[in-house]
Structure 1
Amino acid sequence: MTWAAFWALIATLNGEATQASCRRLAEELSRRSVPDIIGFAERHAEALYRLDQEKFGTLPVADMTGRNGGPLPQSADGFLYARCAVVAAGQAAWEGAFFDADKFAPYTSAECEGEWLLYVPDRAYELATRKEWDRSTPYCFESYSNKDGWPNLGS
């Protein structure tokens, strides 16, 4: 799947990865070929992987503080969901974050939904094939998997 086709599908979310919008996207995607579903999953994983960077992952959770009143760090899951929210916001938001990390910051808010986007490829595959998908992609989207994005993590 081309990046243009991927972003066109993401645009159907209207900027948010709600349960309802992601269900609609999965249904739309399920009407396409299995190679298209796989291609979407690969682009999705790559988009998340590219955002897996220290400059984004070390941002505090927006509008929240820790017990001591200081910034609240993102959890690994929270960071993954924030990256999903950025992708769901569309190509301009995703590209813009790379040039200005402050544009990523609002997506760390607990109010931002992103988790539902993770399930779209699997759901689309299941709808299309009536089989569960045990998938893998060339890119791991789990937090802290992009070693180039986290040079200070060490090995």
Structure 2
Amino acid sequence: MTWADFWALTATLNGKATRANCQRLAEELSRRSVPDIIGFAERHAEALHRLDQEKFGTLPVVDLTARYGSPFPQSADVFLYTRCAVVAAGQAVWESVFFDPAKFAPYTSSEYDGERFLYVPGMAYELATGEEWDRPTRYCVESFSNRDGWPQPQD
């Protein structure tokens, strides 16, 4: 699957990874060939992996504060779901954050929870084949897995 095809499909989310939007995308993707679904999964994982960088992962959650008003850090899960929200927002947003990390920050808000987008490739595969998705992608999506994005190992 080309990047253009990936972003065209992702655009069906209308910028947000809501339950209904992700279900609609999974259904649309499931009507394509299995190689297309796998290709989407690979692009999806790569887009998330490229965002796995210290300059994004160390930004605080925008609508939370820790004790005494200090910034509230993103957990590994929050950082993953935030990256999903950025990708779900579309190609223009995804590309813009690389040039201005401050544009990533608003997506740390619970308003932009992208967790559902994480499961779209598996949902599409299951709809298309009746089988569970059980294949790894070339890129790991887990937080702190992009060694190029994190100069120091994370705990």
- TM-score, normalised by the number of residues in structure 1: 0.98
Question: Could you tell me which amino acid in structure 2 is paired with residue 79 of structure 1?
Answer: F
Match of 1:129 in 2: 129
Aligned residue for 2:15? 15
Q: CA-to-partner distance for each residue in 1:39-93, whole Å, 9 max, x for gaps?
A: 0000000000000000000000012100221000000000000000000000000
Matched residue type, 2:2: T
Query: Which one-letter code corresponds to 1:17 in the other structure?
Result: A
> Which 5+ residue runs of structure 2 have no aligned equivalent?
none
Contact map agreement 2:144 2:154 (CA 8 A) in 1:
no
> Partner residue of 2:52?
52
Letter in 2 for 1:103: K
Number of corresponding residues: 155
Cα distance in structure 2, aligned partners of 1:130 and 1:152: 42
SS at match of 2:79: helix
**Structure 1: stretches of 5+ with no match in the other structure:** none
| Runs ≥4 residues deviating over 6 A | none
Letter in 1 for 2:42: E
Question: C-alpha displacement at 1:154, in angstroms?
Answer: 6.8
What one-letter code is carried by the residue in structure 1 that aligns with 2:142? E
Counterpart of 1:51 in structure 2: which amino acid? L
Give the aligned partner of residue 118 of structure 1: 118
Deviation for aligned residue 1:113: 1.9
Paired with 2:51 and 2:15, the residues of 1 have a C-alpha distance of: 17
CA RMSD of aligned residues (A): 1.1
Give TM-score, length-normalised by structure 2.
0.98
